Amino acid sequence: MNQGDSEFDHPGFRRGVEVDLRDSEAVISLAARTCSFDFPEQVRSAVAGFLRDLETGGYVLSDLQGRAPDIADQVPGLIGEFGRLRLLTESGTGASAKVIDGTQLYRELRRVANRVTNRVASSAFYRALVEGRAQARQLIGYGLEYHWLVRSAPGLIAPALASAHGLAGRRLLEEFLASEIGHDKFIGAALQSVGITPDELERHQPLPSTFALGASLGVYARQHPISFKACLFVMEETRPEFIDAFDRRCVELGMPSSFYLPLRQHADLNSEYDHGDISGDLLALEGAVDAETCMVVKRHLALLIETMVQQEEHILSYYGRTDTPMPRIFT
């Protein structure tokens, strides 16, 4: 049982959750979602009380810990895992009436992004750049994965237009979509300067984590538009220190300026269009967001950031080997 952060002020089991408490194991399920954990038999009564309190609801985290002192250290981790599996809801008095506007949600999302980033790690790729460990193959691999996302962006953004409500929101999405069309030409030109052909770019298969980023945004755009709007800023924000480190490492490795300058040019375009503010602009149009939706959006944002961290690690790992195809073409 590991410690974690609670997303809820008053966590409680959702309606329909079933608890199966055995001698040294608890199984919690809701439809197809199941969570189980083992515990020493001597703390069974504490576990039973803790699960009962979640069924009752209305307790803050410190109360749950105080009412189950034998497992107090494990309670935050269990709450975090139950929340990740969406077995919990906010159960405090008046929780269902808690509504905020989109601007406040954006402020909270910024805090979530900072907290998750600090928890999971700093940029693995950035550290490899500044420490001089990133090799030319990994830099080209970064470009290949980046190109796939940028080329896919218009198709990922377009479904959000179908659910745009109001003229202002539709205009923002239309302008954002228009500004993203054709950006892949900058990265494509950079990759061609190091020997990647247009045909190879077309046939390149992204790493699973890169595909997961694109797929997540595409699903949110079609099925949960507010999560799509909320997640855009982490994909669009320019990181000047990263671009500078990337350029320096390319120079150190003797790579042509025709490789790294187009990547900087694309980053400058994002800054010029203020793409990093797109989430704030879109969410400012949301007049009321209920507590349940806020929790779902925050969970989606945290998952996207964690996937971005994994993607950098996968790029370093995969393209750091010399026995793997680059580009990733398997047919």
Q: What is the DSSP string of 94-118?
A: TGGG-EE-HHHHHHHHHHHHHHHHH
On whether the pTM is more than 0.75, the answer is no
**CB 88, CB 61: distance < 8 Å:** no
Residue 139 backbone phi and psi in degrees, to 5: -65, -40
Taking the C-alpha atoms of residue 12 and residue 312, their distance in angstroms, rounded to an integer, is 36
Report CA-CA distances (Å) from 81 to 3, 5, 12, 74.
9, 9, 13, 11
Please state, as a whole number, how many other Cβ atoms lie within 10 Å of the Cβ of residue 301. 23
**CB 127, CB 245: distance < 8 Å:** no
Locate all alpha helices (DSSP H) within the chain, ordered by sequence: 44-56, 61-67, 75-84, 102-120, 124-130, 136-157, 167-180, 184-192, 198-203, 208-223, 225-236, 240-252, 257-272, 278-283, 291-319
**CB 67, CB 31: distance < 8 Å:** no
Taking the C-alpha atoms of residue 36 and residue 20, their distance in angstroms, rounded to an integer, is 9
Taking the C-alpha atoms of residue 200 and residue 326, their distance in angstroms, rounded to an integer, is 9
Residue 154 corresponds to which amino acid?
Answer: P
Residue 283 tokens read as 């969410």
Burial class (CB in 10 A: 0-12, 13-18, 19+), 130: middle
**CB 254, CB 288: distance < 8 Å:** no
First to last CA, the chain: 44
Closest to 172 (Cα-Cα) out of 284, 271, 79: 284
* pLDDT tens track, the chain, 331 positions: 444 455 678 888 888 888 888 889 999 988 888 889 999 989 998 998 899 889 888 888 998 999 999 999 999 999 988 988 889 888 765 544 478 899 999 998 998 888 777 655 568 899 999 999 999 999 999 999 999 999 999 999 999 998 888 899 999 999 999 888 888 888 999 999 999 999 999 999 999 999 999 999 999 999 999 999 999 999 887 788 889 999 999 999 999 999 999 888 877 765 555 545 899 999 999 999 988 888 889 889 988 988 998 999 999 999 999 999 999 998 8
**CB 216, CB 311: distance < 8 Å:** no
Taking the C-alpha atoms of residue 173 and residue 297, their distance in angstroms, rounded to an integer, is 19
Taking the C-alpha atoms of residue 166 and residue 288, their distance in angstroms, rounded to an integer, is 14
3-state secondary structure of 289: strand
